[in-house]
Amino acid sequence: MAGSRIPGDIGSTDYIYLSLYRLRVLDDDDKKKWFKSWRDIKSKMPKGMRIVTEATSAFGTEYTGFTVYEGPLDKFQELADMIEEYSQGFVEKILTIIGTKGLSLPTAEFQKIIEERPVD
């Protein structure tokens, strides 16, 4: 498993990221450019990060799709910066939910990510 594990008395922590996104309306030319950008993002993902699920629909939400990632917190920040760079002009809005698997106490690293990410 590629998750970041923090050992402790009550278990370990694997970090999971649910990123919902809304694409702007794309014409055929833009769709080709978007899919190329997405392939570039996937091929250049930071070491330790992996995609668990890609979904082209997010029924019941205002988003057009979502991706679930798994990996260390510090590598997720690298990935988020790369996604922002490669998806500029295609993505109108992103909402990322960070969670943990297993039993753990919250870490101070969450606060750093929350302070650095823009608010919707």
Domain assignment present for residue 57? The answer is yes
Domain assignment present for residue 48? The answer is yes
Domain assignment present for residue 81? The answer is yes
Mean per-residue pLDDT of the chain: 82
Domain assignment present for residue 66? The answer is yes
CATH code where residue 37 lies: 3.30.70.100
Average pLDDT over residues 96-117: 69
Residue 50, both tokens: 């992996």
Average pLDDT over residues 29-43: 93
Give helix 108-116 / helix 73-86 axis angle, nearest 10°: 10
What pLDDT digit, counting tens, does each position of 62-103 carry?
A: 999 999 999 988 899 999 999 989 988 899 999 999 988 765
Which range of residues forms the domain containing residue 18? 14-116
Q: What is the pLDDT of residue 119?
A: 56
Domain assignment present for residue 110? The answer is yes
Domain assignment present for residue 5? The answer is no
Domain assignment present for residue 2? The answer is no
Q: Which band of pLDDT confidence, cut at 50, 70 and 90, is reported for residue 13?
A: low
Say how far apart CA 74 and CA 58 lie, in whole Å. 27
Domain count, the chain: 1
